A and B are shown apart, each in its own frame.
Chain A
Amino acid sequence: MKGQFLAVLALILSAGAPARAEEIGDAARGEDLFKKQCSACHQIGEGAINRVGPRLNGLFGRRAGAVPDFTYSKSMARMGSDGLIWTLETLDAYIHNPKALVSGTRMNYRGMADPEARRALLAFLRTWSDKPRDIPEAEPTAIMTDHAVDPAVLAIKGDPAYGEYLSSECTTCHQVDGSDQGIPSVTGWPEEDFVVAMHAYKDKLRPHPVMQMMAGRLSNDEIAALAAYFATLK
């Protein structure tokens, strides 16, 4: 039933005009959340400037790592050049668990687990993307689907021996010693982060065609096996 409801909602959202902030969530609550959890590092609104984190005006529809006068982590810059665009869906995933979407992000935030709270925060952020005249309403930003990985999938205990065999496909590009020139390191990740990241590729939430293809044909058990194996490498 829930799935059906989401599907219908997505249809309405994508078929009609772009969603307005109030259709996403409670923007007033979102402003409160922003002040408590985000404003130590980020500014948003009139006169907002970059602080520890980049200013967040005009965030929706913007490419990741694209505020010109801000210095991003290598990982965020790479996601940007790979084509990650901030939409309701990608921002929701990022705020939910920042390191699952952008592994090496410098945003030192543990994530917001409550989906209602995330929608409230997104509704608030959205109000500062609608206003500036030079930010056109990008339609894809209005579509949100459920990105969370099923807890049953996260609970799968991977077989590291199988993972070691499967890893030979990864090590053609990713070096076992953790070097990350041009291609990021995949060794020594916490297993859950690895699983979430691979599912983000499988669901095409993370950009990058090679990884989408590789993850796309891995089963849940195979992803768990790889996570178990790479977690053992230092």
Chain B
Amino acid sequence: MQLNRRLFIGSTFAAGAMLSAPVVFGQAKPKVVVIGGGAGGATIARYLAKDSAGALDVTLIEANPIYTTCFFSNLYIGGFREFESLQHGYDKVAAGGVTVINDMATAVDRAARTVTLAGGQVLPYDRLVLSPGIDFKEGSVPGWSADSHAEIMPHAYKAGPQTQLLKSMIEAMPEGGTFAMIAPPNPYRCPPGPYERISMVAHVLKQKNPTAKILILDPKEKYSKQALFEEGWGRHYDGMVEWIGPEFGGGAVEVRPETMEIVIEGEVQKVDCCNVIPGQMAGKIAQMAGVTDDSGWAPVHPDSMKSKADENVFVLGDSSAQGDMPKSGFAANSQAKVAAMTIRAELTGSKAFPAKYTNTCWSLIAPEDGVKVGASYEPTPEKIASVDSFISATGEDAALRKATYEESLGWYAGITADMFG
């Protein structure tokens, strides 16, 4: 009898060990720490807590008690959304069984498997999820630094006070003044975002300041949804928007925040409002954790979002380098679900299904003139690869564009419910 029992326990342990090596049975619940409470982090924290039904100890670290979504923040600039409608708290995330800590993660010790917070707390983990969004590359726009000049020439590319500042500057522009955007080089967060923003700025100026001009200085030869934006700008804001690509100096612009000037191929131009969207890289904590490579982004395995540098670390959303998916909230939310499934399988032995990813990005060009682009993705050994895609067509009728816009409103309600409960 005793022998049988021992044999039984022994074989169970061996089977368990094969499924999930790092878990020690009979001790406290496995711990998952998630850094960053946006589309990747909030989603994975909720799904881990919900789907493991209490078998995992899930902690979410987010510096802001109230999160402001970057997606749809252009619509606030255009006057289509209230700022408060972009803001979400973590009450329901916490109610769903996640320990939410409003603090800043300042260090990751991957050998000891701990995260240190600004407040001094040290949190051990079995799995760590990094979803910290983006940081800006210092020196990517000559003359501009995030620390010194963001109050004069805002980036507004992390939603919050920066977005409000940019909106107030646009509205305060002198009659017939010039708005300039320094567009970012690839890869960056939200590929159509700068151009949707141009559309929203044009919409505001058309009503308040119709003789104003908009300049886009762009280091890229082409950009997301270009044909759709160009058609829309021609239709709604004829003559207001000028795009200067790299062949005419758009890629080598110096800015002078003190005098509100920009320099294009040696020619100095006075501007009244300047939106500098610099080059980007993975959020700082991913850099500090040492999971990024020379590109500044964190390479991950395409079938799980697991870091290539550490099997106990996952990187989601903008910070990750995964292949074909754009850096978007939708993509981060999609990746979070695959990573959640993988982590649960590793720590609780639950079943893992094949990874599938999706993305759709909606953009608003003018009132009730919405467009979208999207694709589905699957992991290959090298990268997350696009398998099918679609994009709105030029020349679509007003009813379809209106339906697309209304669909984007439905999506916002859907994804924020998925993230924050």
A residues contacting B by CB (< 8 A) are 78, 80-83, 161-162, 165-166, 168-169, 171-177, 179-183, 209-210, 212-214, 216-217
Contacts and interface: CB of A to CB of B under 8 A. Distances in A.
**Residue of B337, B402, B408 with highest tally of chain A CB at under 10 A:** B337
Contacts of A180: 410
B413 A179 contact: yes
Interface residues of B, number: 34
Given A81-B400, A214-B358, A165 B341 contact: yes
Contact of A213 (B330, B374, B414): B374
Nearest to A183: B410
A173 B411 contact: yes
A213 B389 contact: yes
A175 B333 CA distance: 14
A213 B406 contact: no
Contacts of B410: 173, 179-183
Given A82-B400, A169-B358, A171-B418, 11 more contacts: A81-B403, A166-B353, A172-B333, A179-B417, A182-B411, A182-B413, A210-B374, A213-B374, A213-B375, A216-B388, A217-B387
A169 B356 contact: yes
Contact of A183 (B351, B358, B407): B407
B399 interface: yes
B360 interface: yes
Interface of B: 47, 330, 333-334, 337, 341, 351, 353, 356, 358, 360, 372, 374-376, 387-390, 399-400, 402-403, 406-411, 413-415, 417-418
Contacts of B330: 172
A168 B337 contact: yes
Contacts of B409: 181-182
Nearest to B401: A81
Nearest to A82: B403
Nearest to A80: B399
A194 to B, nearest CB: 18
B390 A213 contact: yes
A52 to B, nearest CB: 24
B121 to A, nearest CB: 31
Nearest to B403: A81
Contacts of A217: 356, 376, 387-388
B356 A174 contact: no
Contacts of B387: 217
Given A78-B403, A210-B390, A214-B376, A172 B47 contact: no
B329 to A, nearest CB: 9
Contact of A209 (B356, B374, B411, B414): B374
A135 to B, nearest CB: 19
